[in-house]
Structure 1
Amino acid sequence: MSHYHAASPRYEPASMEFLVTAVGLLLFYALVRVTLTVLGIGKPKNLPPGPTPLPIIGNLHLLGDQPHQSLAKLAKIHGPIMFLKLGRTSALVISSAAAAKEVLQKQDLAFSSRHIPDAVTAHNQFLYSVVWLPVSTQWRTLRRILNTHIFSNNSLDANQHLRRQKVEKLVAYCRKACQTEEPVNISRAAFRTTLNLLSNTLFSKDLTDPDEDSGKEFKELVGNIMVEAGKPNLVDFFPVLKKIDPQGIRRRMTHYFGNALEIFEALIEKRLVISESKQDDLLDVCLKINLENPDEINRTHIKSLFLDLFVAGTDTTSNSLEWAMAELLCNPHIMTKAKKELEEVVGKAKIIEESDIQRLPYLQCIVKETLRIHPPVPFLIPRKTKTKVKLNGYIVPKGTQVLVNVWAIGRDSTLWNDALNFVPERFLTSGLDVRGRDFELIPFGAGRRICPGLPLAVRMLHVMLGSLLNSFNWNLDSGLGHHEFDMNEKFGITLQKDNPLCVVPSVIN
């Protein structure tokens, strides 16, 4: 695919005339809307409560650079079911476990459509993606393939040797850092590990070999896609700007998606040529289904499925591991307790097996507490009402974007004692889990659109975190004490640590 380069914009007199006309029309439209609002004409009745919107921008000015935090504060004023206008987009923000249960379980079907960001219209990804497709025959087919052939317990058990190999490489990388006394960027190391794990599950090969340019390119591709997807996009708030794409987000996504899809196409072609290949990976499974029933899944669906898995499964896992390590470094007594459990159950300085997880209750508590206070996707993937919906006595208009603020729910002081502090012990006797049944803790969502990769993510988090804790002692870089440690958040499609965690490992004696 040829690279797409945007020409530099030039403002000719005709362009300026268009701009003045457009601004004039917008101001006139705003004046009409304000007049109608004052007169009470055309306003839907019985909307959920929310802040009063300004002309044109609505409530956009209230979001700031940390929308999950801003909307959590607004919910304390307006309630857990809150209605906003974000530019020309209507939005419903859910900020309590009870309201989340209503939306994601009791009325799941009514809220099961997706709000489509403009960025994922690049290469029509939203038309083929299991993430963005509406609940339909095609969506069910793709979900069935994922649930049966990659995320079922049987499939995961059969592939656990792959995960062990990747964790062994991660530990070896950290051991090399011990010898040179260099800090390890936890998120970057975990990202590479997760990316290679996924590529082996899908294609039976690594795609991020640091000695090969193609591997570096693919790692950068996935990273660039995550960066663009996480940027606020004016087009999502003002659809009239779609043709202009003022920030160039869709243009860059078209380039990145195109490169990734080309890589997948080459892998498919190579596999088809080697007809005797029996890798028993997801690529083989998809090609077999395509051969037997081309209408069920075609090559475009296969490539979009792979793109979904890489985008959804890398940043989320690596960020969660980074937050867990950061919290443990801030709370040395918790790290000591975790290392003691690992030593007693697994043995000192050993990589843990997935079969060990059930025998490590305190490690499980640490993972749950990390996901409670640092959910990977703070608003989950946005949903949308396909029709007008009645919710707790309110009317939610058709086409409303639905944001479930799991970050706010995880820090709700009415649900959690000592809500803002990292206290893994709270889960030792609570019985709460992250699998979508307990709405106080839904980092992977719930209902029919729950993240299908949950079983793999949970295994990977425990094995990577447990192995790193059990194999090394960890110290902050630059001699920082745990009281000085920066725990600021960087908002995007995933919730990242603002300053990457770089820690220095040392061998356990």
Structure 2
Amino acid sequence: MEMELPLPLLLGSVAVAVAVCLLLLRGRGGKQQAARLPLPPGPRGWPVLGNLPQLGAKPHHTMRDLAREHGPLFRLRFGSAEVVVAASAPVAARFLRAHDANFSNRPPNSGAEHVAYNYQDLVFAPYGARWRALRKLCALHLFSARALDDLRAVREGEVALMVRELARHGGRGAPPVALGQVANVCATNTLARATVGRRVFAVDGGEGAREFKDMVVELMQLAGVFNVGDFVPALAWLDPQGVVGRMKRLHRRYDDMMDGIIRERQAAEEGKDLLSVLLARMRDQQPLADGEDGTINETDIKALLLNLFTAGTDTTSSTVEWALAELIRHPDVLAKAQQELDAVVGRGRLVSESDLPRLTYLAAIVKETFRLHPSTPLSLPRVAAEECEVDGYRIPRGATLLVNVWAIARDPDAWPEPLEFRPGRFLPGGSHDGVDVKGSDFELIPFGAGRRICAGLSWGLRMVTLMTAALVHALDWHLADGMTADKLDMEEAYGLTLQRAVPLMVRPEPRLLPPAYAVE
């Protein structure tokens, strides 16, 4: 016998069924609508190669120009790869804040495979437990607030050595020095003492320091090349640009260097430096970090050291070189910085890290240098794990994301007089008072932002600030070979990092009282 449903219950059931159908149709319609979203606009490319031949010698400049034509979010095609470029602060924020988790991985590339130990380093490692473990180790022993404070004497000691060496050989009759090379020796030795427990170069540099800087510059140049084989797999075996061959040769040189450092550290007494900690973990078959699976091996150690010795040295020294070049070109700014340093520090001693919080004008100079000359003009690439929507455009799964850090920091919509060196914009009452470089203000992100922000941000910022302060305070600067400030070449040499095309050649001259340069 069939039971007849009461009318209210029957009507309620029908209403629920209708609602479910409407929701299903709406969901299906939503998916169809998402699928109908357009891809970002972009220029027409070549057959097979796409837009690769159109990038030119300075891709960050080319991409800035393309943004003016197609908008701050545009699309390129590199061979078979879809590439989206963020060229304004709001667009960068939507990718690196709202969609940060979706863009937490790196796309495959030949540099990570052939130089960085097949993705076993920190910079190119896949996002996950192993990457977090490597980052945690670096933070604990190098980059945390406590580690930075513990290593303060190391930084101050190496910067003081650099200044004293320059003062000792300085003066108007002295031969000129390549400031970038001197700064690189200081940055490398400082990081080496913290990482492997000793200096790797003599204080005056020497042939070994020059060779190492050449290796780092070559690596950054190669890493900045858009390798055709990465984007057109059918051509990879040809290595048409010769990039992979050079990478393999360079890797062997780095590997020999890392082997030598590890062997020497194993033969010495165990210390508290990062390498000693890593070797102890390897010997005891401990995991990369507490609570993580997988023990550490020698390749892990070499890959991490490679990151630290490359990403943490030339980026610092080249930024300091750019800062001094800008100050020489702007003697009024240099004089004001020296006045501030004399007022805070005096002329009887060298500047220390404890002085830095009171050097507001110097801090503004450092920010302005990072703005005009970011060490990494194009962010390291990220890849979309899933399809998403940004600003009404469909971003396909697997698309590569590039953020034009250089163009964003020169965007006239965000920066008054963007091409001018104006540190005052960062002072109280200035147009960008309160803006910092730590990844929260997207109009100024020289270290990146989001999950994959540079792990060494805190170290790099302290080193650049201390080195710049010491060089400005302790020395006066004269250009070599009769060069005048208005004729100083400020051309860029493109790579993964932004080098000066022509090294800054200078003659330093002591400006402090003699006791300031005495060894304590």
SS class of match (1:161): helix
The answer to whether residue 107 in structure 2 is matched with residue 104 in structure 1 is no
Give the distance between the partners of 1:237 and 1:161, measured in 2 at CA. Answer: 46
Q: Deviation at 1:405?
A: 0.4
Aligned match of 2:258: 264
Contact kept in structure 2, 1:95 and 1:406, CA below 8 Å = yes
Aligned with residue 207 of structure 1, among 200, 211, 228: 200
Give the distance between the partners of 1:115 and 1:317, measured in 2 at CA. Answer: 26
Aligned match of 1:11: none
Task: Go from structure 1 to structure 2 and tell me whether the alpha carbon gap of 1:44 and 1:68 turns closer, same or farther (over 3 Å shift).
Answer: farther
Q: Which moved more, 1:348-357 or 1:226-235?
A: 226-235
Task: Go from structure 1 to structure 2 and tell me whether the alpha carbon gap of 1:155 and 1:89 turns closer, same or farther (over 3 Å shift).
Answer: same
Aligned match of 1:247: 241
Aligned match of 1:395: 394
SS class of match (1:350): coil
Give the distance between the partners of 2:217 and 2:356, measured in 1 at CA. Answer: 30
- 1:158-197 map, 5 Å: 158-179=150-171, 180-197=173-190
Task: Go from structure 1 to structure 2 and tell me whether the alpha carbon gap of 1:378 and 1:300 turns closer, same or farther (over 3 Å shift).
Answer: same
Give the distance between the partners of 1:349 and 1:254, measured in 2 at CA. Answer: 50
Contact kept in structure 2, 1:389 and 1:397, CA below 8 Å = yes
Aligned with residue 235 of structure 1, among 207, 213, 229: 229
Contact kept in structure 2, 1:349 and 1:470, CA below 8 Å = no
Query: Which TM-score applies when normalising by structure 1?
Result: 0.87
Q: Deviation at 1:410?
A: 0.4
Give the distance between the partners of 2:305 and 2:318, measured in 1 at CA. Answer: 20
Letter in 1 for 2:440: R
Contact kept in structure 1, 2:181 and 2:210, CA below 8 Å = no
- 1:363-442 map, 5 Å: 363-429=362-428, 430-442=433-445
Report Cα offsets for 1:12-67 as digits up to 9, x if no partner. Answer: xxxxxxxxxxxxxxxxxxxxxxxxxxxxxxx9961011112232232234321111
- 1:275-424 map, 5 Å: 277-290=269-282, 291=284, 293-294=286-287, 295-348=294-347, 350-424=349-423
Report Cα offsets for 1:88-143 as digits up to 9, x if no partner. Answer: 33211101111111111111011111123313311662421110012111001001
Letter in 2 for 1:236: D
Q: Deviation at 1:213?
A: 6.5
The answer to whether residue 65 in structure 2 is matched with residue 63 in structure 1 is no
SS class of match (1:280): coil
Bigger Cα Rg: 2
Q: Deviation at 1:211?
A: 7.8
SS class of match (1:82): strand
Contact kept in structure 2, 1:121 and 1:250, CA below 8 Å = no
Aligned match of 1:446: 449
Contact kept in structure 1, 2:67 and 2:87, CA below 8 Å = yes
Q: Deviation at 1:204?
A: 1.1
Q: Which moved more, 1:62-71 or 1:437-446?
A: 62-71
Q: Deviation at 1:479?
A: 2.3
- 1:115-130 map, 5 Å: 115-122=107-114, 125-130=117-122
Instruction: Note the residue ranges of structure 2 that are not aligned, 5 or more in a row.
Output: 1-34, 288-293, 513-520
Q: Which moved more, 1:209-218 or 1:342-351?
A: 209-218
How many residues align? The count is: 465
SS class of match (1:478): coil
Task: Go from structure 1 to structure 2 and tell me whether the alpha carbon gap of 1:334 and 1:214 turns closer, same or farther (over 3 Å shift).
Answer: closer
Q: Deviation at 1:499?
A: 1.1
Letter in 1 for 2:422: V
Q: Which moved more, 1:215-224 or 1:487-496?
A: 215-224
Alpha-carbon RMSD across the aligned residues, in angstroms, is: 2.1
Give the distance between the partners of 1:496 and 1:247, measured in 2 at CA. Answer: 21
Aligned with residue 83 of structure 1, among 46, 71, 75: 75
Q: Deviation at 1:264?
A: 2.3
Q: Deviation at 1:347?
A: 1.1
Q: Deviation at 1:219?
A: 4.5
Give the distance between the partners of 1:124 and 1:375, measured in 2 at CA. Answer: 23
Contact kept in structure 2, 1:97 and 1:439, CA below 8 Å = yes
Letter in 1 for 2:393: Y
Contact kept in structure 2, 1:435 and 1:442, CA below 8 Å = yes
Give the distance between the partners of 2:434 and 2:205, measured in 1 at CA. Answer: 46
Contact kept in structure 1, 2:182 and 2:205, CA below 8 Å = no
Aligned with residue 156 of structure 1, among 142, 148, 163: 148
Contact kept in structure 2, 1:218 and 1:260, CA below 8 Å = no
Q: Deviation at 1:323?
A: 0.8
Letter in 2 for 1:412: D
Task: Go from structure 1 to structure 2 and tell me whether the alpha carbon gap of 1:353 and 1:228 turns closer, same or farther (over 3 Å shift).
Answer: same
Report Cα offsets for 1:218-272 as digits up to 9, x if no partner. Answer: 4443343233323443223423222222333222222222232233234333433
Q: Which moved more, 1:248-257 or 1:457-466?
A: 248-257
Contact kept in structure 1, 2:39 and 2:393, CA below 8 Å = yes
Contact kept in structure 1, 2:318 and 2:499, CA below 8 Å = yes
Q: Deviation at 1:166?
A: 1.4
Report Cα offsets for 1:419-475 as digits up to 9, x if no partner. Answer: 110110111121011111111111000111000111111111111111111111112
SS class of match (2:82): strand
Contact kept in structure 1, 2:96 and 2:103, CA below 8 Å = yes
Report Cα offsets for 1:300-327 as digits up to 9, x if no partner. Answer: 1111000011111112111111111111
Contact kept in structure 1, 2:39 and 2:75, CA below 8 Å = yes
Task: Go from structure 1 to structure 2 and tell me whether the alpha carbon gap of 1:81 and 1:308 turns closer, same or farther (over 3 Å shift).
Answer: same
Give the distance between the partners of 2:335 and 2:210, measured in 1 at CA. Answer: 36
Give the distance between the partners of 2:256 and 2:490, measured in 1 at CA. Answer: 38
Aligned match of 2:477: 474
Give the distance between the partners of 1:153 and 1:60, measured in 2 at CA. Answer: 42
Letter in 2 for 1:151: F
Aligned match of 1:73: 65
Give the distance between the partners of 1:193 and 1:451, measured in 2 at CA. Answer: 21
